[in-house]
């Protein structure tokens, strides 16, 4: 049976991040993708120049319309933008705790633009994190959620992963891509303890949408029945291939997108 996975996130007209990246990752991982828009952005590979938010009630209306008709096997939540939208999403998902929910706390764009209002952090923490099967912050996002300095080593990453899990998520994956190192380790905190995933840093500037892509791949694998640890291993391997093949694309002059279909497309075709 082909699984159905819903993304609740913002739009990226350049196609590398947000809803567009989510739908590509879903397709690449063999699940049927659906999308609820929380925001329209004016952005490209060089940065975000504008954001137009969808009214909170209409975000909830979109979610309710999908659930009223379609079997949803997993949900991925990306850009929430403000407290009203966070509250609306939490309310619409409260009755659907029986399916996996992956939360990628999109807070800052690659170019530095803020994508989550400060007052929304409290609502995100109180209402959405307890619904999460898996939370996937990078180092700045983990620090912002905990009101702590950004982790600079493995010990601090592990401590923050455990502290975030204490806020309600069943599992937390703290991503180490911002470490000043040739390595890019991630740590998964679950009820069973900590598990590290090792990876070498790929020397490329084409990393636009990596967080969106990873969290969507995780949601796809959870929808197919994988455990959190299994899903992370599969999704990280998929993302590594997508980043390694990013140079085959010629999209923009800034931080280009990853190649979501690296396993399906042949270069030059």
Give catalytic residues, as residue numbers: 175, 207, 209-212
Task: Give Cα separations from 8 to 15, 36, 51, 75, 103 (angstroms).
Answer: 16, 5, 16, 7, 10
Beta bridge partners of 47: 44
Task: Give Cα separations from 225 to 1, 130, 221, 228 (angstroms).
Answer: 12, 21, 7, 9
Rg (CA), the chain: 17
| 96/103 Cα distance (integer angstroms) | 14
The bridge status of strand 193-197 relative to strand 74-77 is unpaired
């Amino acid at each position: 049976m082909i699984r159905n996975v819903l993304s609740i996130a913002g739009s990226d007209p350049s196609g590398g991040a947000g809803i567009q990246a989510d739908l590509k990752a879903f397709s690449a991982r063999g699940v049927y993708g659906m999308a609820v828009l929380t925001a329209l952005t004016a952005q490209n590979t060089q940065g975000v120049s504008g954001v137009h938010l969808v009214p909170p009630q209409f975000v909830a209306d979109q979610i309710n319309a999908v659930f009223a008709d379609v079997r949803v096997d997993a949900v991925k939540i990306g850009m929430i933008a403000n407290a009203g939208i966070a509250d609306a999403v939490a309310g619409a998902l409260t009755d659907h705790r029986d399916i996996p929910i992956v939360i990628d706390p999109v807070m800052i764009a690659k170019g530095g633009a803020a994508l989550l209002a400060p007052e929304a952090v409290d609502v995100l923490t109180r209402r959405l994190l307890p619904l999460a099967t898996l939370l996937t912050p990078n180092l700045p996002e983990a620090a912002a959620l905990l009101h702590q300095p950004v982790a600079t080593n493995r010990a601090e990453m592990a401590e923050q992963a455990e502290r975030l899990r204490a806020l309600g998520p069943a599992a937390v994956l703290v991503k180490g891509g911002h470490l000043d190192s040739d390595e890019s380790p991630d740590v998964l905190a679950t009820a069973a303890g900590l598990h590290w995933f090792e990876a070498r840093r790929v020397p490329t500037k084409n990393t636009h949408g990596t967080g969106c892509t990873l969290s969507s791949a995780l949601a796809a694998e959870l929808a197919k029945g994988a455990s959190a640890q299994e899903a992370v291993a599969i999704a990280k391997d998929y993302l590594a291939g997508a980043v390694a093949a990013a140079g085959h694309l010629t999209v923009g002059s800034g931080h280009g997108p990853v190649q979501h279909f690296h396993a399906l497309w042949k270069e030059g075709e």
